[in-house]
Amino acid sequence: MNKKKILDRFSNLENQFQDLQQDFSLLKTDLVQLVEENHQLAHENHHLRQRLDDLTEVHEPKSKEQEQAVKKAAVGEGYDNLARIYEEGFHICHVYFGTPREEEDCIFCLKFFG
Ligand SMILES: [Zn+2]
């Protein structure tokens, strides 16, 4: 039995184990970051949806003419607010709604603007 060989193998395994531990710890940090980011995005999304609901809410109409005017105003208002949310850098499309838009335009969002 070659003691030197066994000791070398042992030392190799020890190194591998340390590497694995390091990888594991890095992965754990990434995972925590991802979970936090996801939580933040979910929160942001919830907030934006609520804001959108508030802004596009149609108030109780009294006559047919008023009803139409209110609907028109609400649609216009909702449209303006969506445009503003888009300008603030968030998606308003159904695909990515509420998530940050980065710098470039989104083709799905642009469909809203005709
Ligand atoms: Zn979009």
**DSSP code string of 46-71:** HHHHHHHHHHHPPPPPSSHHHHHHHH
Cα 90 to averaged position of ligand 1 atoms, centre (Å): 8
pTM of the predicted model, to two decimals?
0.40
Give domain limits for the chain: 65-114
Cα 97 to averaged position of ligand 1 atoms, centre (Å): 6
pLDDT digits (tens, 9 = 90+) for 78-94: 777 788 888 888 888 88
pLDDT digits (tens, 9 = 90+) for 12-42: 999 999 999 999 888 888 888 888 888 888 8
- Among the listed residues 44, 38, 59, the one whose alpha carbon sits nearest the alpha carbon of residue 91: 44
Cα 89 to averaged position of ligand 1 atoms, centre (Å): 10
Residues with CB under 5 A from ligand 1 (ion): 91, 93, 96, 106, 108-109
Cα 94 to averaged position of ligand 1 atoms, centre (Å): 7
